[in-house]
Amino acid sequence: MSEVHRRPASIGVLTSGGDAPGMNAAVRAVICTAVHHGIDVYAIHEGYRGLLTGGPLIQRMEPEDTDTILHRGGTTLGTARSQEFRTRDGRRSAARNMVDRGIDALVVIGGDGSLTGADIFRQEWPDLLAELVDSGDISADAAGAHPVLRLVGLVGSIDNDMSGTDMTIGADTALHRIVEAMDALRSTASSHQRTFVVEVMGRQCGYLALMASLATAANWLLIPEQPPAEDWAMQMCRDIKAGRDIGRRQSVVLVAEGAHDTHGNPITADHIKTMLEQELGEDTRITILGHVQRGGAPSAFDRYLATLLGHAAVERLLTDGVDTTPQLIGLRGNRVVTTPLMDCVAQTQAVAERIKAKDYDGAMLLRGGSFRQSYKILQTIQQAAARPTPAGRHRFRLAIVHGGGPSPGMNNAVRAFVRLGLDRGYTVLAVQNGFRGLRDGDIQEMGWMDVSGWVSDGGAEIGTNRFVPSGEAIAQTAEQIAAHRIDGLVMAGGWAGYQAAHELHRHRGQYRSLDIPIVCMPMTINNDVPGTELSIGSDTALNSIVADVDKIRQSAVATRRVFVVEVMGRDCGYLALLSGLSSGAERIYLPEEGITLDSLTADIHTLAEGFRTGKRLGLIIRSEHADAVYTTGFLTSLFEKEGGDLFDARQAILGHIQEGGDPSPFDRIHATSLTARCIEFLAEQLESGGRASAMLGFQSGRLQFTDLTSYPTLIDPHAQRPLEQRWMDRRGLAEIMRR
């Protein structure tokens, strides 16, 4: 192998630009992965300032140095703006500090400015080294040993404003902060019949404002990509008044900090307040969320995303050749993707340029399909009433039913179903108490305001259970479907819901009324249903687990202790694996793998060795059905006994709190957007006379329908889980991250 194709000598990792929650998880993943491959890794403190200052700001790292950073917000490495790095002299000093330590590969976690700076540095690298040789600062041998600078970029930014990735590190956490604040405001606003104008971050990008609107009941939205029409102020007042007239007790106008009118004049919160007070006499208050949005512990998704990307960054550096264009590592759907770094920067800047040039359609186009789709859905749901139905449109009767355990997001699905259905001119029916209610005819016609206030509530307002009809119940269900003249059915639920929907579909030849399109939408915290890589509700459950594990971690600070934490999931280890990855567990037991005595013995040895060399906390995540014999109690007793004087052991069974709680922003948004797709599916079938039934899900990150007829072929007949579980690909990553 030629000299220049060998692996990087040492890797440096830095965070730069604005801080973002999740950056620490990325740094940890970079360090663990590099050490896993036997490569030295250095943490560079204070961004580029640290790189060019050197000394104690560049520190060699070991995985144990990262034990306490995963759950922390911001960046523990620190970040700083550096004017000096913008100069060639500054970059020369940086190069010298790196060569002195043998660092010739960099993982830069920052925004487009930081990544642009990194690319300039990379291009100049050979010349900078030649200059350092000329000035006698480094030897020719040292320069020769590091002919190229390898570079990968990860985007840390709460704004989600970067091309090349669906999500930037930090955006999901910011959304959590905004949605928490807006839920809190809603209760005070409705107590006083007030209007709130809430300003959120996003100078060039309306992502946070748009998604927060979709996840809360905001009534008006202003984002930079889509300035409102000329008479926006009057339109806004009319819409707020219409909401009041139908009984809304609170109104919220959400404005991104970069919002402006079609002429480019800023629209400020003050301006909006004045308009509302003048025109409507509304008691209006302004809340500018500001830096709160950056703060707090990273969400489960940000920890997972950052871990995935940090790991992929090092893997990429190891395979990059000398001529490789530096890449940005991002996520599309749930796949890690790489895109040339500077293409991403250029594309990102293009959106800002379109906005500046007042080409707003162009800006929306560049933002992508799901941004535009979300904007469209929001416009409908925000209305005070359905639009008049065009003459001649058939008023189909659609029903929604849940099945399986409760899942956060179920109320969002019903809310979206009711409003989007009514807006199409359909009659919408909610089946109470799952398939038992469908059998008994417990079915209610819904109106626009019947779902008011449902956006933030966990649980399932219309009820759910695990009843699966068979025998006589099928005939009774068919009768009720006929009696209520149901033309199409959405089943938003989990395992039992899929079984029930398939049972009805299977009997469509026997009962004419069952020969209707049925669409299943995945809503279960367990993520154990077929036809999808992700189910709604699991994100809320993961956040609940991760928050609890953070507390467990703190409780154990003064002792040397192993915690065995049992999480839900039934026969599916998704929650265990993902929560283990997001909380820094050293061992994760899954039902897919079971537990053996040999593995337990090995784990005890590993734990003992860790505690002997300074470890203070051992974290084990055990999925509830991981093994019938080696229960959580058994494991805890075993570790307690074998830990001797080195460590003690405690168990924490998290239980049903994982199914409860307010739905996370992701679950609210996904519940809403998937429901929209389900209604479209039914509408297409009914309008074309089709009778197909399907399961909607994420496959390779895209929404896809799978024929419901194939349901039995997609599941494990012995265990309650799908045959294909793509998330198991992350098993290896969990092994690298365990310590």
Q: Which is nearer to ligand ADP, 114 or 538 (CB)?
A: 114
Please report which residue ranges of 511-589 form alpha helices under DSSP H.
538-555, 574-583
| Of 420, 656, 434, 413, residue with least CA distance to 536 | 413
Q: Is position 441 an interface residue for ligand ADP (rule: CB under 6 A)?
A: no
114 contacts ligand ADP (rule: CB under 6 A): yes
**Residue 163 binding ligand ADP, by CB under 6 A:** no
- Residue number, 52 or 185, with CB nearest to ligand ADP: 52
Q: Which is nearer to ligand ADP, 18 or 530 (CB)?
A: 18
- Minimum gap (Å) between residue 174 Cβ and ligand ADP: 14
408 lies in the binding site for ligand ADP (CB under 6 A): no
Per CB under 6 A, the segment of 57-65, 108-116, 159-167, 525-533 that binds ligand ADP is: 108-116
CB of 97 to ligand ADP, least distance (A): 15
- Is 15 a binding residue for ligand ADP by CB under 6 A? The answer is no
User: Going along 333-376, which residue ranges are E strands?
Assistant: 335-340
Look at phi and psi of residue 660 and say left if phi exceeds 0, alpha if psi is from -120 to 50, else beta.
beta
**Positive or negative: CA dihedral 575, 576, 578, 579:** positive
Per CB under 6 A, which region of 104-112, 193-201, 496-504, 555-563 contacts ligand ADP?
Answer: 104-112
Stretch that binds ligand ADP, among 105-113, 380-388, 430-438, 542-550 (CB under 6 A): 105-113
Cβ pair 558, 715 in contact under 8 A: no
Comparing CB distances to ligand ADP, the nearer of 169 and 621 is 169
One residue of 42, 85, 435, 698 binding ligand ADP per CB under 6 A: 85
Instruction: State the nearest-atom distance from the C-beta of 112 to ligand ADP, in Å.
Output: 5
494 lies in the binding site for ligand ADP (CB under 6 A): no
Residue 81 CB, nearest approach to ligand ADP (Å): 3
Residue closer to ligand ADP (CB basis): 114 or 532: 114
Quote the CA–CA distance of 33 and 41 in Å, as a whole number: 9
Which helix (H) or strand (E) segment holds residue 130: the answer is helix 112-134
In this chain, which residue has its C-beta nearest to ligand ADP?
Answer: 113
Decide whether 73 or 110 has the Cβ nearer to ligand ADP. Answer: 110
- Which stretch, 15-23, 186-194, 618-626, 634-642, contacts ligand ADP (CB under 6 A)? 15-23
Does 711 sit near ligand ADP (CB under 6 A)?
no
Q: Where does this chain touch ligand ADP (CB under 6 A) — which range of 114-122, 547-555, 640-648, 666-674?
A: 114-122
Per DSSP (E only), the strands in 317-359 are 327-332, 335-340
Q: By C-beta, is 119 or 282 nearer to ligand ADP?
A: 119
Q: What is the DSSP letter of 166?
A: S
Tokens of 501: 């929907």
Alpha-carbon dihedral 14, 19, 20, 23, rounded to 10 degrees = 20
Contacting residue, 22, 73, 110, 202, with ligand ADP by CB under 6 A: 110
CA distance 24 to 5: 30
Q: How far is the CB of 121 from ligand ADP (least distance, A)?
A: 7
Kindly tell me which residue out of 10, 59, 116, 555 binds ligand ADP, with binding defined by CB under 6 A.
116
Q: What is the 3-state secondary structure (H, E, C) of 293-316?
A: HHCCCCCHHHHHHHHHHHHHHHHH
Select the span of 111-119, 177-185, 476-484, 702-710 touching ligand ADP (CB under 6 A): 111-119
* Shortest distance in whole angstroms from residue 38 CB to ligand ADP: 31
Whole-number CA gyration radius for the chain: 27
> Is the CB of 158 or the CB of 420 nearer to ligand ADP?
158
| Touching ligand ADP, residues 24-83 (CB under 6 A) | 48, 81-82
Beta carbon of residue 111, minimum distance to ligand ADP (angstroms, whole number)? 3
Q: How far is the CB of 48 from ligand ADP (least distance, A)?
A: 4
Q: Which is nearer to ligand ADP, 111 or 584 (CB)?
A: 111
Nearer to ligand ADP, 112 or 423 (CB): 112
Q: Is 327 in the site for ligand ADP (CB under 6 A)?
A: no
497 contacts ligand ADP (rule: CB under 6 A): no
Nearest approach in angstroms of CB 211 to ligand ADP is 20
Whether 562 contacts 643, CB under 8 Å: yes
Which of 159, 302, 320, 539 does the annotation list as catalytic? 159
Q: How many residues bind ligand ADP (CB under 6 A)?
A: 16
Position 172 contacts ligand ADP (CB under 6 A): no
Contact stretch for ligand ADP (CB under 6 A) within 60-68, 112-120, 489-497, 602-610:
112-120
Helices (H), 623-718: 632-643, 665-688, 711-714
Q: Determine the Cα–Cα distance for residues 724 and 7; give it in Å rounded to an integer.
A: 35
Q: Which is nearer to ligand ADP, 111 or 517 (CB)?
A: 111
Residue from the set 117, 330, 406, 493 that interacts with ligand ADP by CB under 6 A = 117
Query: Do 112 and 350 contact (CB within 8 A), yes or no?
Result: no
Is 550 among the residues known to form the active site?
Answer: no
Options 92-100, 107-115, 192-200, 558-566: segment touching ligand ADP (CB under 6 A): 107-115
Question: Which amino acid type is present at position 679?
Answer: I
**Cβ–Cβ < 8 Å for 260, 358:** no
Q: Is 291 in the site for ligand ADP (CB under 6 A)?
A: no
All residues at 6 or more sequence positions from 486 whose CB lies less than 8 Å from its CB, including other chains: 397, 398, 399, 429, 513, 516
Task: Give the one residue of 112, 503, 533, 667 binding ligand ADP; rule: CB under 6 A.
Answer: 112
Residue labelled with tokens 């929306």: 364
Task: Spell out the residues 6+ positions from residue 554 whose beta carbon is closer than 8 angstroms to its own.
Answer: none
Q: Mind spelling out the 3-state secondary structure of 453-513?
A: CCCCCCCCCCCCCCCCCCCHHHHHHHHHHHHCCCCEEEEEECHHHHHHHHHHHHCCCCCHH
3-state SS of 416-462 is HHHHHHHHCCCEEEEECCHHHHHHHCCEEECCHHHHCCCCCCCCCCC
348 binds ligand ADP (CB under 6 A): no
- Choose which of 8, 11, 12, 17 interacts with ligand ADP (CB under 6 A): 17
Rounded to whole angstroms, the Cα distance separating 694 from 630 reads: 38
The distance from CA 550 to its chain's CA centroid, rounded to whole angstroms, is 19
Please report whether residue 111 would count as binding ligand ADP according to CB under 6 A: yes
Q: Is 86 in the site for ligand ADP (CB under 6 A)?
A: yes
Check residue 155 and report its DSSP letter. Answer: E
Q: Does 18 bind ligand ADP (CB under 6 A)?
A: yes
Between 16 and 407, CB nearer to ligand ADP: 16
Q: Give the full edge-to-edge strand order of the sheet including 284-288.
A: 220-222, 251-256, 195-200, 284-288
Answer yes or no whether residue 89 interacts with ligand ADP by CB under 6 A.
no
What is the C-alpha separation between 600 and 589, in angstroms, rounded? 10
In terms of Cβ atoms closer than 10 Å to its own Cβ (0-12, 13-18, 19+), residue 54 is: middle
Query: What's the rounded Cα separation, in Å, for the pair 294 and 304?
Result: 18
Contact present, 217 and 453 (Cβ < 8 Å): yes
Rounded to 5 degrees, what are φ and ψ at 429?
-120, 135
Query: Contact with ligand ADP (CB under 6 A): which of 120, 184, 246, 657?
Result: 120
Q: 85 vs 371, which CB is nearer to ligand ADP?
A: 85
Q: Which residues bind ligand ADP (CB under 6 A)?
A: 16-18, 48, 81-82, 85-86, 110-114, 116-117, 120
Which residues are catalytic, by number? 159
